[in-house]
A = this chain, B = another copy of it.
């Protein structure tokens, strides 16, 4: 490299140091974007195309040849064409013998074909080494360079060396390769970019259902009841008051549902006397989406906090307080401070604040970058010890909120209990059962079972 070369801001380094040549079959959107990015990273790129006319859209530094010619120039061939056109590769089988074919295709639906595109390609060109990669990256992200979304590229393939070569390219493009194993993983990799929060579906549908139920329950008691019996229009409660009853109820129930499967699993293990039998499927799935359940609960809790904090700004509340004060003044009486009431009001708020604070802490530790920096013992300490403390505080918050109303029959409209009472069922059950499980007579065998001990070793089939 002489003095001059540094002034001409070439896209690629001098020839002797240049990276290997990569061939790209297909000059579509993604093929071009990938070619452009590879040229920038110092690769030579040759496109294989039906028409070898140089289109203005193809990067200038790249060659365009027929498929057969292009394939001969490189060891690695990126197949940037759609699955339905793969069959044209069959006649090229001889030229592709021993080459590394990179399948980057995606489908339109999950499990669209019986076998993955990469496996189909491997069948069509049996002599080639097929590697699945790049399908999770969008052409737009490659072009614009704004990889705000994931930089992770899942790679799989049966040939170790071929996979390594592809992973080197991935790294050279500034992306992060993730080895996913053999080509059998291709199906999963092809489904991945089509997924839309699969782990969140159950928690979100569950909470939507519960929200609808509790919303109409509260609507009945707070809006319809006074309208029927007192002909009062409280419909404006729909905006804040009723959501502010539904949110804490859902937060509490969902938080309890995070800890319920753990308690159930303990009971099942104790009953079976072994940890080596699989849990029922529904319990397994439930346990896998506990994090998501907890985060949805946290979302409801956060909205509840905001709804609660705006209470004194609401015009209805201001009117109520003002009316009360005016009526007191007009009746010429000053009420003394009710210390019991002050105690209940303050401790209910304090419990809620502490519970919410711990809840947010749990949420922060579930951020991937934070949980990556704690060891297993610390993670369990936070998610189990602090988690139960949060549940206890939030349950106590709701219990104290209820305060004296529990035994007051006049507070039961239409013989229906208050909504918050319903919300206490699950968390109280979880806490009571967990408390029972802590007793040494149950905790000791459970610990032994979890360390691999079996009550009846022959039990295993």
Interface, chain A (partner B; CB < 8 A): 1-3, 6-7, 9-14, 17, 19, 28-29, 40-42, 55-57, 114-115, 119-120, 122-123, 126, 136-138, 141, 144, 146, 148-152, 158-160, 171-172, 174, 178-184, 192-197, 233, 235-237, 239-241, 243, 276, 287-288, 291, 299, 302-303, 305-316, 318-330, 332, 334-335, 337-339, 341-347, 349-350, 353-354, 356-357, 360-361, 366-381, 451-452, 460-461
The 7 A-B pairs with the shortest beta carbon distances in the complex, nearest first, are A369-B369, A17-B158, A239-B346, A315-B345, A13-B182, A329-B329, A6-B115
Assess the B349–A310 pair: CB atoms within 8 A.
yes
Contact call A288/B179, Cβ cutoff below 8 A: no
Known: A328-B322, A379-B148. A357 touches B302 (CB 8 A): yes
5 contacts across the A-B interface (CB closer than 8 A): A1-B126, A1-B183, A148-B366, A239-B346, A311-B312
What is the copy number of this chain in the assembly? 3
Q: How far is the CB of A403 from chain B (nearest CB, A)?
A: 11
CA distance A95 to B194 in the complex (A): 50
| Contacts known (A310-B349, A321-B322, A329-B330); A10 close to B239, Cβ less than 8 A | no
Question: Which residues from B are CB-within-8-Å of A319?
Answer: 335, 337-338, 342
The 8 Å CB contact of A288, one of B126, B146, B346, B354, is: B146
Q: How far is the CA of A41 from the CA of B183 in the complex (A)?
A: 11
Residues of B within 8 A of A330 (CB): 329, 332, 334
CB pair A240 B350 closer than 8 Å: yes
Given known A13-B184, A349-B314, contact A374–B6 (CB-CB < 8 A): no
* Cα of A353 to Cα of B305 in the assembled complex, Å: 10
Q: Complex formed: what's the CA distance from A374 to B29 in Å? A: 23
- Give the CA-CA distance A338 to B314 in the complex, in Å: 12
Residues on the B chain within 8 Å of A122, using CB:
1
A276 and B367 alpha carbons, distance in the complex (Å): 38
CA distance A383 to B19 in the complex (A): 37
| CA A345 to CA B239, docked complex, whole Å | 9
The smallest C-beta distance from A171 to any residue of chain B, in angstroms, reads 5
Question: Given A181-B41, A184-B10, are A342 and B357 also a contact pair (CB < 8 Å)?
Answer: no
| Main secondary structure on A side of the interface with B | helix
Q: Compute how far the CA of A2 lies from the CA of B123 in the bound complex, rounded to whole angstroms.
A: 6
In the complex the two chains form, is A287's CB within 8 Å of B337's CB?
Answer: no
Whether the Cβ atoms of B377 and A194 lie closer than 8 Å is yes
A123/B328 in contact, CB under 8 A = no
Residues of chain B lying within 8 A (CB to CB) of residue A195: 375, 377-378
> Which chain B residue shows the least CB distance to A151?
B372
- Which of A171, A288, A313 has the largest number of chain B CB atoms within 10 A? A313
Chain B residues within an 8 Å CB radius of A182: 12-13, 17, 41-42
Point out the residue from B119, B325, B347 that lies within 8 Å of A6, measured CB to CB.
Answer: B119
**Residue pair B335, A240 in contact (C-beta under 8 Å):** no
- Structural contact, A149 and B376, CB atoms closer than 8 A: yes
Closest to A194 in B: B377
Q: In the complex, what's the smallest C-beta–C-beta distance from A107 to chain B, in angstroms?
A: 13
A163 to chain B, nearest CB (A): 10
Nearest-CB distance from A309 to chain B (Å)?
Answer: 5
